Amino acid sequence: MRFTDQLAAAERRHDSLLCVGLDPEPAKFPLAWRGDARRIFDFCASIVEATHDLVLAFKPQIAYFAAHRAEDQLERLIDHIHHVAPDVPVILDAKRGDIGSTAEQYAREAFERYRADAVTLSPFMGRDSVEPYLRYDGKGAILLCRTSNPGGDDLQALRVRREAGAAAGDEALYETIARMVAEQWNAGGQLGLVVGATYPAEIARVRALAPTLPLLIPGIGAQGGDAEATVRAGWRGTADATTGPVIVSSSRAVLYASAGADHATAARAAALATRDQLNAARR
């Protein structure tokens, strides 16, 4: 099944737009595990088991594993997700960006070693830096477009020509990325875009330029993004079908809902509340 089909099926089955980001920080683990990087798998697996019927995707962030030499735990975790929740796609949040043989190796890492269903990438080096990922049939690639951090303005808001011969400064760089990905790069239907929840007006603009592409939207919860504004800006569809999917990611608000023995129960309650809030916005 293609990544986009997996998303659509999980959205329908779990009635959800929520993606839980898996960003394990041992210093924030429940007291019994606190500070112990050897328990990264155990902690993340407990979150997966508590929330898998409430989400349309999981998104492990590779840096939180690699920093603790826990790549083997990441492999185990993604295998565990595929076992516990075979209908829920896994997005490897890696933000890779390189060309040629190096991109081929990164693609191999994401899809063969970790067995992710999709991966986040930087589009800065152009279409040929994305193509090696698209050789994996059915896998997804989600490209940075308008990110949630304040420094995103440094480059993403720069005014550029829309096309040769047009007046200079007629659209922002993030708009060029959205347009290019939707119109020229997405021949196989495998691409999506990352747009931060802290910029709902920009979400709406990206959705206008890329009407049907999946939008991965981090930034609700701890980062301050508004769930209702996010869904209204990005999700498109009817009661019967979604035509413009969103993958709304929450990490810390779910993972660290409690520091006690009830952490998994608290994570489920936080995920359920967020899922219901997102659903209320689209209905």
Q: What is the dihedral of CA 265, 269, 271, 275, to 10 degrees?
A: 150
**Of all helices (H) and strands (E), which one includes residue 138?**
none
**Of all helices (H) and strands (E), which one includes residue 228?**
helix 227-234
Taking every pair of Cα atoms in the chain, the longest distance, rounded to a whole number of angstroms, is 63
Report how far residue 138's alpha carbon sits from residue 177's, in angstroms, rounded to the nearest whole number. 22
Q: By three-state DSSP, how is residue 64 classified? A: helix
**Of all helices (H) and strands (E), which one includes residue 193?**
strand 191-195
Report how far residue 280's alpha carbon sits from residue 270's, in angstroms, rounded to the nearest whole number. 15
Report how far residue 150's alpha carbon sits from residue 158's, in angstroms, rounded to the nearest whole number. 14
In the annotation, is 95 catalytic? Answer: yes
- Within 10 angstroms of residue 204's Cβ, the number of other Cβ atoms is 14
Report how far residue 177's alpha carbon sits from residue 173's, in angstroms, rounded to the nearest whole number. 6
Of the residues 28, 59, 95, 139, only one is catalytic, namely: 95
Residue 216 Cα to chain centre, angstroms = 4
**The tokens of 35 are what?**
């500070």
SS3 content of the chain, % helix, strand, coil (to 5): 50, 20, 35
The residues assigned a catalytic role are 95
